[in-house]
Structure 1
Amino acid sequence: MPGAPIEPPAEAPVPGRARPRGRTALLIAAAALLGISGGTAVGYGIQAERPPTPLPALSQAELAYPAKALPADKVPAPLPASQDHRVRTDGDLRKLIIDPPAGWSEDKDADWLDDGWMTVGGLARGYEDQAGMFEYFLESDIRRIAGAAWKKGEHREATITLTQFSSGPGAMAADYADGQRSYMADDAYAGNDGDLVEGSGEGRYYLYDVDREPGYLPSYQARAVVHRGDIMIEINLFDSRPISKKDIRTLAERQLERV
């Protein structure tokens, strides 16, 4: 009832023990320090009186080298360049870009390319966070970027970029490709999970929803993001008319096979 005294709980918590203070605390600390020092000194003394323990003898198993070199006719032939991925990707990267399909021609107005090469800054400028992507590319040990731009008719355009990294056995190319695919399902981009590029592992291609604005032709876009080894492949298609899945899938599969 109002005004009645409040009863303490039946099992009030027991306050913890206070730490020793003042002279008692100093004595305890001094005793602990002496105990540590004394134990260390005794340990060194016991160790010094013990006889030295001999080290085990060094031993090594016989190396598995052949007694003599293989005859010339038994030495395996090196892989041909068509099968050696390192030989192909260490050469002129521009030569790994597929030729334009029938009816397509080179877009000579593509000012983002210089003789088939693209700068790191040019690649970074294609993203909203330009500074962040530029830093990411440099930290990822980017090596070089080859590109191509095509056109067909008045409105259909295509771009291909091969972005090659130096460090790791394809780890950075895979990381870059995974990062690009991670946001493609957002409504601001393709708005879907895309379709798998056959034989690519995680590579996918996407069709965007049509973009319509009053006074402008409708805008259609398709994109493919794939990686193989140390190279990330990106393909984009643009048109004022619908783009089929076959259009972007065929380009992605051809380019993947070429790399």
Structure 2
Amino acid sequence: MEVPEVADAPGSVPDPHASASARDQDAPDASGTGTPVLRRRGRTALLIAAAAVLGVVAGTCAGYVVQAGREPTALPPLSQPVLAQAKGKGPEPLSAAQDRRLRTDGDLRKLLLKRPSGARDLPYPQGRDGWMNLAEYAEDFSRPDGAFKHEISNEFRRAAVTGWRVGSTYHVEVRLVQYRQEEQLGAAESAENAHYWAGNKGGTDSLAIPGTGDGMVYVHTRPETEFGVPLYSAEAHARRGDIALEIWVYDTKPIPKEKIMDLAKRQVGRL
């Protein structure tokens, strides 16, 4: 479905993704070891990483081919001690309310914050039908091709999105980005890198989100002026298991920390 272009009314907020900001520039980020790692990686580094991944895959495939051509070898007989069988009932399975994985394996869109009454659609697209695929997610970076490859290596699975605006200047975007986490802790790395970018932007106040361990909100007190109007922003980043939570708020006036904190606490609560 085509999204019609919306002319910017006086005092309205332009699309904040139309220009590179602090979260769209190249700089070090951090890995679990505390060593800076890139969230926005350079193209060369990404190609090297992709080549390394392809090399591992090619080596694994070659190993299977060699093994498949060999004669099967008989296995030695198993010799195991006889153990007495445990008595008593085993633990009860988790209920649907307790099993977080069961909740997040369903329709992720149902866990998104509900749009407040009176709010309107954003003037720029946010995925389709509440979902954002990998290509759409990567387009939000200043180097989409690099972001695309990086998210593949991070085992991106899917992203549920919502957003709204109140009046002509107050915009909110919420994303739940889910990772497969079979070999990479994608959600943890995504959140950690987001913390690096947000915390290293000048003129930023940061606060911990209660009950999240490492979740934080960031209020950027210095406005961006490249859009023709002062554009203030605030953001929140946290993780729950295999899900990285991202909230962005934009306005032409300073954003109270209570607003972004309320959004963050309510969204974390829904997870």
Query: Does TM, scored on the shorter chain, surpass 0.5?
Result: yes
**For 2:112 and 2:96, how far apart are their aligned partners in 1?**
16
The within-5 A match list for 1:135-174 is: 135-168=149-182, 171-174=185-188
CA distances 1:131-162 after superposition (whole Å, capped 9, x unpaired): 22111101111110110011112211100011
User: Shift of the alpha carbon at 1:78?
Assistant: 3.1
Which residue, 67, 83, 86 being the options, matches 1:66? 86
Identity in percent: 34
**For 2:128 and 2:78, how far apart are their aligned partners in 1?**
61
Question: Match of 2:159, as an amino acid?
Answer: I
User: Shift of the alpha carbon at 1:245?
Assistant: 0.6
Contact 1:116–1:146 (CA<8 Å) still a contact in 2?
yes
Structure with greater contact order relative to length (CA < 8 Å, sep ≥ 6):
2
Which residue, 113, 116, 130 being the options, matches 1:116? 130
Question: Match of 1:228, as an amino acid?
Answer: R
Measured on the aligned residues, the alpha-carbon RMSD in Å equals: 2.6
Provide the residue aligned with 2:192 in structure 1.
178
Which structure 2 segments of 5+ residues have no match? 1-76
Match of 1:182, SS state, is: helix
User: Shift of the alpha carbon at 1:92?
Assistant: 0.4
Which structure 1 segments of 5+ residues have no match? 1-56
Provide the residue aligned with 1:197 in structure 2.
209
**For 1:140 and 1:218, how far apart are their aligned partners in 2?**
35
**For 1:209 and 1:58, how far apart are their aligned partners in 2?**
67
**For 2:183 and 2:270, how far apart are their aligned partners in 1?**
19
CA distances 1:140-196 after superposition (whole Å, capped 9, x unpaired): 11110110011112211100011100124982100111111112233xx35436211
The within-5 A match list for 1:1-259 is: 60-66=80-86, 77-101=92-116, 103-107=117-121, 109-168=123-182, 171-186=185-200, 189=201, 191-192=203-204, 194-211=206-223, 213=225, 216-259=228-271
User: Shift of the alpha carbon at 1:80?
Assistant: 2.5
Structure 1 residues 246 and 104: alpha-carbon distance in aligned structure 2, compared to 1, 3 A threshold:
farther
Structure 1 residues 217 and 95: alpha-carbon distance in aligned structure 2, compared to 1, 3 A threshold:
same
With normalisation by structure 1, the TM-score equals 0.67
User: Shift of the alpha carbon at 1:105?
Assistant: 2.2
Match of 2:147, SS state, is: helix
Contact 2:199–2:218 (CA<8 Å) still a contact in 1?
no
**For 1:216 and 1:66, how far apart are their aligned partners in 2?**
72
**For 2:150 and 2:78, how far apart are their aligned partners in 1?**
48
Match of 1:205, SS state, is: strand
Q: Determine which structure has more spread, i.e. the larger CA radius of gyration.
A: 1
Match of 1:122, SS state, is: helix
**For 1:226 and 1:214, how far apart are their aligned partners in 2?**
29
User: Shift of the alpha carbon at 1:221?
Assistant: 0.6
With normalisation by structure 2, the TM-score equals 0.64
How many residues get paired? 195
**For 2:122 and 2:233, how far apart are their aligned partners in 1?**
21
Match of 2:132, SS state, is: coil
